[in-house]
Amino acid sequence: MAKMTVLKYPDERLRKVAQPIAKVDDSIRAVIDDMFETMYDEQGVGLAATQVDVHQRLFVADCSEDQNEPLVFINPEITKAEGHFKNDEGCLSFPGVYAKVERAETITVKALDKNGEEFSMNAEGLLAICIQHEIDHLNGKLFVDYLSPLKRERIRKKLEKEQRLAEKFASEAQ
């Protein structure tokens, strides 16, 4: 297993639309293992393939308190969405940024698991938010797209500045 690099906003690759996965094979399962390692290492609750520059319809999640309930969703599709719910969201592609986003409160999602078997599950609360957030990633959509242009611009500037500082620091440390 190997840790992957998570793309940071405003990297344009985060805007790519991911392609459906035709066959769930060992190469996909290797990507899944690396994505879990990356997500747990970065203390995230979800990670979409798009975020690690793999443009296939796949995400991993673990919204349990003890981070011991790994979930894999391949070619996910929301088949039912009900209610409205607004909560703070963060994202590994936006370090240190949190913003309130409105989502459906309860959803039903259909996907393939890591063995290529189809399953369907109901989700609410944090998991429902996470699933909607990750499916957005696969469509090149980001949680800041729900905010006002002004707020989004402020976040872009903040992250660009932090990335410049990090690069400067890295080059000086060499």
Q: Which residues are catalytic?
A: 134
Smaller CB separation from Zn ion, 50 or 75 = 50
Does the annotation place 91 within a ligand binding site?
Answer: yes
CB of 148 to Zn ion, least distance (A): 19
Nearer to Zn ion, 91 or 109 (CB): 91
Question: Which amino acid, 17?
Answer: V
Nearer to Zn ion, 42 or 118 (CB): 42
- The answer to whether residues 71 and 61 touch, using CB atoms and an 8 Å cutoff, is yes
The per-residue b/e assignment along 145-167, b for 16 or more CB within 10 angstroms, e otherwise, is: ebbeeeebeebeeebeeeeeeee
* Cβ at position 93, least distance to Zn ion in Å: 5
Select 100 or 168, whichever has its Cβ closest to Zn ion: 100
Which residues make up the interface to Zn ion (CB under 5 A)?
91
Residue type, 20: P
Phi, psi of 83 (to 5 degrees): 75, 175
| 137 among annotated binding-site residues | yes
The CB-of-149 to Zn ion minimum distance in angstroms stands at 20
State the Cα–Cα distance between residues 11 and 22, nearest whole angstrom.
27
Helices and strands, counts by H and E, the chain: 3, 7
Cβ contacts of 130 within 8 Å, gap of 6 or more: 45, 46, 61, 63
Binding residues: 91, 133, 137
Binding residues for Fe cation: 91, 133, 137
